[in-house]
A and B are shown apart, each in its own frame.
Chain A
Amino acid sequence: MTALELRDVGKIYGSDENRVVALEHATLSVADDEMLALLGPSGSGKTTLLSIAGGLLSPTSGRVEVGGQDISAFNASQLNRFRRESVGFVFQQVNLVPFLTARENLMVVDEISGARSGRASAGRADQLLGELGLAERGENMPNELSGGERQRVAVGRALMNEPRLVLIDEPTSALDTQLGNQVMELIRQEIKERGTAAVIVTHDTRMIHYCDRTVSIVDGVLRDDAGASAAH
């Protein structure tokens, strides 16, 4: 099974002379428990690709399937629902809700979707916090947590809705090497345990050995670094 399948996906911003091609003929597939690193300089289109895969942007052309579901023609509310139920995001700026505790930041996902409530939601949040080594930090507010702890809470939040696909934007950009390794280790562990697919955008080559495969993107064009275009 493939968790993510992009076929000939293109994204063009603006029109006529202001036309910017952000992504061109992107074809990519990510297997169910695969961890894919997406490498590229800034402006290369990696954020656009991540946004399209996560249903934050609609492609101009091509087909996007997540877990067998074609989302390329979804309207805004269908995309909302898709994001609530089928993907998890870890953003570059951690972006926890500042007035909620670590545990509540995880439970927000359930509040938005109404999936679980009360004790079930708290139980799931506690389980994730435990796995991420934050069992003791559940009641702390974001400003009482270290950068690494905040990033781990964000990983927990991304896994709260049991997604098929987790999209992670520059997870280590604000962390030193040691903390970066720790976070990547945890991400790998969580992803592999669950059989969830992950796409990790990074320009930090020290981190790519945690991933199964690396794909580069330059000027909106994908290049499989392993030399093969199919998923392994």
Chain B
Amino acid sequence: MKLALRELRRRPSRFAVAAGVLTLIVVLLSFLGGLLDGLFLGSTGALSAQRADVFVYSANSRDSFLRSRIEPDVRAEVAAVEGVDTVGGLGIGLLTAAVPGQQDPADVALIGFEQPATGIPAPPPDGQAFADRRLETAGVRVGQTLEIGRSRTPIRVVGWVRDSNYLLQGGLWVNADTWRATVSAARPDLRVADGVMQVLVVSGSGTPASLAERIDAATAGATRSLSRDDAILSIPGTKEQRSTFLQIIFTTLAVAAMVIGLFFSLLTLERTGLYGVLKALGSSSRQLFGGVVAQAVLVTVVALVIGEILTIGLTAIAPSSIPIELTASRSAFVAVGMLAASVAGSVVSLRRVVRIDPASAIGTSS
């Protein structure tokens, strides 16, 4: 092991190619992960910000906000369920907004809400909205009055919020009455009657699953309740998006394992003579293989550090239209994945190390 580490220190150039390739793989993985997280958050931020255990849809909605309607009587039934602490209404309308001084309208997700969410304070007064920072790139500024939809309903932006978008459209957070009025005016086909919301966000005691079950039982099948994670994944396209990205990410990790496997098996092949001598001197296969694994892991660690730094640098200069989101948990995922790939890759050399015959050190002439 000590021998392997000393080789790394004395002859770093031998490992430079492998470290370089692995660094590029780390950058690729971090970007893919960052894009996945960015797109995912851009699609689902409005829901993941909710401090709720369960989302309650109407039974016939097929888990879609747009189709779901919760009438006041159903809401009262939900609120009366044992263990339910808070109930808030939520509604989303995908609309366009005319921005003063801008030629192109901005795509907005007009979100009506009743309870503060993570990073989002209590609902503003009528006719006012909190806008997501995402809308800044469309020219939206605090203090402006936007005109929503064909009805040109005026809404004044009074503050910024973050990570609160829906289906990659900038979140515009208004109170429930403003939401109903605006959506009904802009899209008469989606008219929402007084007191009606699309979905209820509920928090309460017990597991989300049991809470959901109790709620659906209490409304006699008028509702369909989902845990927060299920509600997020029911947003159109998110599941597919995530599984596509994860497939690319895991394929890339497999490529990393192959790179490490190939590199270290070539290195082991080159060291056959040396390993023969070391075995003749009494080294065990375990000692020698441990050295190979240690080198693979260390080269990977170096690649991870350089790759992460490069990713942070590249993200900083990337145009803001690319929705990259770098998170500590994604970095940890990449790190764990790469380290697992390095160990898996070095296992390829195990058989070769074991099969080296110590007697080969002493010549084969007789």
Contacts and interface: CB of A to CB of B under 8 A. Distances in A.
A95 B273 contact: yes
Interface of A: 22, 40, 42-48, 50-51, 54, 56-57, 77, 80-81, 83-85, 89, 91-93, 95, 97-100, 104, 108-109, 111-113, 157, 169-170
B277 A112 contact: no
B3 interface: yes
17 contacts: A42-B366, A43-B365, A45-B366, A54-B362, A80-B284, A83-B358, A84-B281, A84-B282, A89-B361, A89-B362, A91-B362, A95-B361, A97-B277, A108-B278, A112-B278, A112-B283, A169-B362
Nearest to B11: A99
A22 B364 CA distance: 12
Among B274, B279, B280, B284: residue with most chain A CB under 10 A: B280
Given A80-B284, A99-B11, A111-B3, A43 B363 contact: no
B355 interface: no
A54 B7 CA distance: 28
B366 A89 contact: no
Nearest to A92: B363
A91 B362 CA distance: 6
Interface residues of B, number: 25
Nearest to A94: B277
Interface string B1-20: 01100110011000000000
Nearest to A85: B282
Nearest to A47: B366
B284 A56 contact: no
Interface in B251-295: 273-274, 277-284, 287
Contact of A97 (B3, B282, B287, B361): B3
B314 interface: no
A170 B366 CA distance: 13
Given A47-B363, A111-B2, A95 B282 contact: no
B282 A113 contact: yes
Contacts of A99: 6-7, 10-11
Please report whether the interface of chain B is mostly helix, strand, loop or mixed according to DSSP. Answer: helix
Interface string B97-120: 000000000000000000000000
A15 to B, nearest CB: 18
Contact of B281 (A22, A83, A93, A169): A83
A33 to B, nearest CB: 23
B280 A56 contact: yes
B282 A50 contact: no
Contacts of B283: 80, 112
Contacts of B282: 80-81, 83-85, 109, 112-113
Nearest to B358: A56
B3 A47 contact: no
Contacts of A91: 277, 280, 361-363
Closest 9 CB pairs of A and B: A84-B282, A56-B359, A83-B282, A47-B366, A95-B277, A99-B10, A42-B365, A43-B366, A51-B359
A229 to B, nearest CB: 22
A66 B88 CA distance: 86
Nearest to B279: A80
Contacts of A83: 280-282, 358
A17 B60 CA distance: 82
A89 B365 contact: no
B271 to A, nearest CB: 10
Interface in B1-41: 2-3, 6-7, 10-11
Contacts of B284: 77, 80
